[in-house]
Amino acid sequence: MIAIEDKIILEALEPEKLTSGGVILPDTSTEASDRGKVLQVGPGRKDQPMQCEVGDVVAYPKNMARKVEVDGNDFYVIRETELLMIIKREE
Specify the DSSP class assigned to residue 9.
Answer: E
pLDDT at res. 22: 58
Average pLDDT over residues 54-69: 93
Q: Which pLDDT score is estimated for 47? A: 87
pLDDT tens, 1-50? 999 999 999 999 876 554 556 555 555 444 557 899 999 999 998 888 89
Give mean pLDDT, residues 54-70.
93
The answer to whether the pTM exceeds 0.85 is: no
Nearest one of 6, 24, 7 to 15, comparing CA atoms: 24
Average pLDDT over residues 54-78: 94
CATH topology classification for 7-13+31-88: 10 Kd Chaperonin, Protein Cpn10; Chain O (2.30.33)
- Main-chain dihedrals φ then ψ at residue 3, nearest 5 degrees: -75, 140
